[in-house]
Amino acid sequence: MIKSICAISALLCVTTFTAAQVVELEQDVNQDTVISKFGKNRKHYISSYFGFGITPGQVETDSVQLKSGESTKITYGVYYKYKVAKPYSILASVNYGLSQFEFETADDVKYDRLNVNTVELEFANRFNFGKRGNTIGNYLEIGISGDYVFGTKRLTKQTIDDPSANHKTKKIELTGLTYINKPNYTAHARIGSNKFVVTADYRLSDLTNDDINFDLPPLTIGFRLDFGG
């Protein structure tokens, strides 16, 4: 009798344990999972990007001219996006930029270029449209930025065609140019589709001051590659 009671008790324990395990395994764990607020189409998002642009146009003077289509700007930065509503987000971005202006030269001059290094802080409004899911999707972006010039360099290389000279080329490097304004302000417009972005940047301030008799074109048109796309 005692053996029978023990056997029945053991069987009941095993049955109870098995039933408990089955109930636990059948539970939907997603019901207790908090949806992440971080992602491409969620509340918060951080990504990095690389940009390349061309500065068209000419300077407003006859003393120097830019080579057509050879003045460029590259940028690398990171941005933070905060989703305010389904179709609208705000962004903050910081980036490093290198602008290189190529000037027309005489036949004996190989190049004459101006390099401007900047660090830039930007704020932008992003208007999303179309279906996205958890992707960046399609958007129009309007922003404004302020940059600080922390390095400038003017580089010239000339060929020397003089048998009496003891050298064939002459290089001139000028740094710390005082005619470049350090703070500048720029307006931005962008159209993006996931990682591919078409950009247009228009500088609202003069890059050069009254110490020199020319300014530089304000418009840069290019593209951006969003590494998070």
CATH number at residue 99: 2.40.160
Rounded to the nearest 5 degrees, what angle is found at the Cα of 201, between the Cα atoms of 62 and 75? 100
Residue 10: is its pLDDT beyond 70?
Answer: no
Residue 176 phi, psi dihedral angles, 5° rounding: 65, 45
* pLDDT tens per residue across span 25-51: 444 445 556 677 888 888 999 999 999
How much of the chain exceeds pLDDT 90, in percent? 64
Domain of 156 in residue numbering reads as 32-226
Does 151 reside within a domain? yes
> What length is written for the chain?
229
Q: Is residue 1 part of a domain?
A: no
Tokens representing residue 212 in the block: 């020199």
How, if at all, do strands 44-54 and 72-85 pair?
antiparallel
Distance (Å, whole) CA 145 – CA 183: 11
Q: Any residues with CB less than 8 A from the CB of 100 and at least 6 apart, and which?
A: 71, 72, 73, 113, 114, 115, 116
Neighbours of 199 (CB within 10 A): 19
Q: Identify the pLDDT of residue 14.
A: 46
Decide if 3 is inside a domain: no
pLDDT tens readout for residues 182-211: 999 999 999 999 999 999 999 999 999 999
Largest CA-CA distance found in the chain, in angstroms, rounded = 125
The whole-model pTM stands at 0.81
| Interatomic CA distance for residues 55 and 72, integer angstroms | 6
What's residue 60's pLDDT? Answer: 75
Please check whether residue 94 lies inside any domain of the structure. Answer: yes
**How many domains would you assign to the chain?**
1
Q: Is the residue at 16 inside a domain?
A: no
Cα(103)–Cα(110) distance, integer angstroms: 10
pLDDT score at 33? 63
User: Bridge-partner residues for 138, per DSSP?
Assistant: 129, 193
23 is a domain residue: no
pLDDT in tens, 64-119: 899 989 999 999 999 999 999 989 999 999 999 999 999 999 988 999 999 999 99
186 falls within a domain: yes
- Is 71 within a domain? yes
Continuous segment of H or E residues that includes residue 214 = none
